Amino acid sequence: MSPPSSKDSHRSPSSPRTAAGIIRDAIPSITDAEIETIIHKISQRNPRSIVAYIKTLAGNGDLAKYRACDEDGTEPHSNACRNGDGNNCTAGWCKCQCHRGWWSQ
Ligand SMILES: [Zn+2]
Ligand SMILES: [Zn+2]
């Protein structure tokens, strides 16, 4: 059961807030590619409204869990994050961007 994919869902200038816009607000330094990755991961959960879902994640600070690890970061990283496996990272000292708090702005 795979829903028809709509590849041409570009940002509409009429809508005040888009999923990409919310993510970019939360993480100003994020790249377009990363935004696409995050939206793709979230859309796989089939939320009723992806914008509402992303807003909630951003509000809770949970958007970080969808961000990829910065494997070549210069700050301390656990082995899990070095391997791009942030879900298995339990190191409190790890400074990987996948759990860096952009909510503390
Ligand atoms: Zn990580
Ligand atoms: Zn980590």
Cα 69 to Cα 78: distance, rounded to the nearest angstrom: 11
Residue ranges of the domains in the chain?
Answer: 17-67, 68-105
Answer yes or no: is pLDDT of 3 > 70: no
Radius of gyration of the chain (CA): 15
Ligand nearest to the Cα of 85, by number: 1
Instruction: Say what the pLDDT of residue 66 is.
Output: 83
User: Do residues 105 and 96 make contact, with C-beta atoms less than 8 angstroms apart?
Assistant: no
Using the mean position of ligand 2's atoms as its centre, give its distance from the Cα of residue 93 in Å.
8
Ion ligand 2: residues, CB < 5 A: 78, 81, 89, 94, 96
* Chain Cα centroid distance, residue 33: 11
pTM, entire model: 0.59
**pLDDT tens for residues 42-92?**
998 899 999 999 999 998 888 877 887 877 778 899 998 888 888 788 888
Higher pLDDT, 94 or 97: 94
Question: For residue 7, what pLDDT is reported?
Answer: 52
CA of residue 84 to ligand 2 center, whole Å? 9
What digits encode the pLDDT tens for the residues 13-48? 444 489 999 999 888 888 898 899 899 989 988 999
Query: CA-CA distance, 80 to 30, in Å (whole number)?
Result: 22
Distance CA 98, CA 69 (A): 5
Which ligand is the nearest neighbour of the Cα of 67?
A: 1
CA distance 33 to 37: 6
**For residue 44, with 0-12 CB atoms within 10 Å meaning exposed, 13-18 middle and 19 or more buried, which class applies?**
exposed
